[in-house]
Structure 1
Amino acid sequence: MPDRLAGRRALVTGAAGGIGRAVARAFVDAGAQVLLSDVDPAVEQVAGELGATALVADLADRDAVADLVAEAPQRLGGPLTTIAHTAGVLTTGTIADLTDADWDRLVAVNTTATMALLRAATRTVADGGTITVVSSNSGASPRLGLGAYGATKAAVTSLVRSVGLELSSRGVRCNVVSPGSTDTPMLRGMWAGDRSPDEHAAAVIAGTPDQYRLGIPLQRLAQPEDIAATVTFLASDAARHITLHDLRVDGGATLDQ
């Protein structure tokens, strides 16, 4: 449906690569006018390829978040109707081995940045608009080595649902998309050792019982486009009666939840 988001003015964060880039492309293909943001200057090249505009911003800086949201309507030529927040960072390891710097970075980029974005959005997004935030299924299902990351994502999910309740009287829909293992640089950055990418992928799909990790029933890794299609759906009128929802896009990996 190429016109699914026609007339929408959208801000997409984390748009330089991975899921964010796929969301930006899906929004443009669906007819939205899009402002891309990322801390990585490569976002400007992505915007050029898509015929969109871009702003480089560090979402760990709360003032930068406020400025980004405030400037979005001017860049887009009208009220901001749609936000897709995909930016995030990953640190792996046990809680015992977690450094203060690792924790502070996770909280700053994953949780505090989301809070700052949502806070600014409540004053800027148009009535009847949408806010969709990409979290993670690790926020609901504990994983060895992902405890700190999962904690920040659990907080993200709670924040979005709370803001959705606060904005419901204005018709603003706030939803969460929680991907599982998705073939992005973030996931591949977790793959160490001598195994090939295909072998790593097969191990993720099969699961690791000794780490209490379920496999993926659909027998495939998600692609960024799978997540982007879900975010596009939630931003569209096809999802007009869906809010406060946490939609898992993980091939059934959190079947126990």
Structure 2
Amino acid sequence: MSAEQDLSGRLALVTGAGRGIGAAVVTALAERGARVLATDVDAAGIEAVAAKEPDRIVPRVLDVTDPAAVESAVAEAEETLGPLDIAVNVAGVLRGAPVVRLTDADWAAVFAVNTDGVFHVSRSVARRMAARGRGSIVTVASNAAGIPRSGMAAYAASKAAAVMFTKCLGLEVAAQGVRCNTVSPGSTLTDMQRALWEASPGGARAGERSVIEGDLAAHRTGIPLGRLAEPSDVADAVAFLVSDRARHITLHDLYVDGGATLRA
């Protein structure tokens, strides 16, 4: 590992760390030497992740929709573990339905995690990072933020809001040495993706084939690289952006989707 990738001595906060992309991000940062505060509403999930590297990973239950809980967790982390150098917003939920059947409750629930949660965490850590003159914040969004998807209006809109929020924050804190970027994955082999396939006609196998090959009837392109992402593919992109190799990158949205959106 090059010195620019080394995260030794740095403290990171990761939300949505109990499984999928969040768990992969925790592992990627810990493998590069960071100490990681792994947070999630799923206590069992983060305990399992922390058990892999107990010397580097500290689990903490956290609901990102609760601004007081977020502020308390960040303050406690800085008091007991040290100043946060890195924050990665991964916590996210998906409730899919055509807009005409989308309920107020589902719309609110998606935005509460995917957008409000990003705001709560980023505001809290950015305030402290800016005062110290250093830090890196990465929000894991989605390529759905950049291209319309049927049945995913709430999710896509919430992720688009998170992307623009992160860019605006990055503009505001750039002069204080804090970098803010987003990573936008495409279809990735997570529990969320598998749940979508299981609900689709033909089941998981047909759903996976449709994602890779494309579906003209659903106005969806396939994946030019011919494979779905692994959570580690997304985590490696995050690890790059928080490292010194990306020291001159901010306000950037990095698509990790195998070319699926044709960068629409």
* TM-score bracket for this pair, using the shorter chain length: over 0.9
Instruction: Give the counterpart letter for 2:230 in structure 1.
Output: Q
1:61 corresponding residue in structure 2: 66
Quote how far apart the aligned CAs of 1:30 are.
0.4
Match of 1:7 among 9, 12, 33: 9
**3-state SS in 2 of match to 1:190:** helix
Shift of 1:146: 0.8
Q: How far has the Cα of 1:46 moved from its partner?
A: 1.5
User: Which protein has the bigger helix share?
Assistant: 2
Pairing 1:1-257 to 2, within 5 Å after superposition: 1=1, 4-42=6-44, 43-51=46-54, 52-76=57-81, 78-125=82-129, 126-191=132-197, 192=199, 195=202, 197-257=204-264
Deviates more, 1:193-202 or 1:6-15: 193-202
Normalising by structure 2, we get a TM-score of: 0.93
Contact 1:132–1:177 (8 Å) recurs in 2: yes
Letter of the aligned partner of 1:254 in structure 2?
T
Q: Deviations over 1:226-256 (max 9, x none)?
A: 0000000000001010000000000001115
Letter in 1 for 2:182: V
User: Which residue type is aligned with residue 13 of structure 2?
Assistant: L
Q: Which amino acid aligns with 1:117?
A: V
Query: 1:50: Cα distance to partner?
Result: 2.1
SS state at 1:189 partner:
helix
Deviation at 1:70, TM superposition (A): 1.5
Q: Distance in 2 between matches of 1:239 and 1:111?
A: 25
TM-score, normalising length: structure 1: 0.96
Distance in 2 (CA, whole Å) between partners of 1:256 and 1:10 is 30
CA contact (8 A) 1:22 1:225 kept: yes
Corresponding letter in the other structure for 1:210: A
- Letter of the 1:134 counterpart: V
Rounded Cα–Cα distance in structure 1 between residues aligned with 2:78 and 2:35: 11
Structure 2: how far apart are the matches of 1:193 and 1:176? 29
**How far 1:61 sits from its partner (Å)?**
1.0
Report runs of 4+ in structure 1 exceeding 3 Å deviation.
193-199
CA distance in 1, matches of 2:201, 2:144: 26
Extract unaligned runs of 5+ from structure 2: none
Taking only aligned residues, the RMSD between alpha carbons, in angstroms, comes to 1.4
Specify the code of the residue in structure 2 equivalent to 1:109.
V
> Does the 8 A contact of 1:132 with 1:174 survive in 2?
yes
Aligned AA for 2:33? G
Q: Tell which deviates more after alignment, 97-106 or 194-203.
A: 194-203
SS of residue matched to 1:109: helix
Deviation at 1:194, TM superposition (A): 6.6
Question: How far is the alpha carbon of 1:44 from its aligned partner?
Answer: 2.0
CA distance in 1, matches of 2:128, 2:235: 23
Q: Shift of residue 193 of structure 1?
A: 5.1
Amino acid at match of 2:100: A
Q: Report deviation, 1:200.
A: 2.2
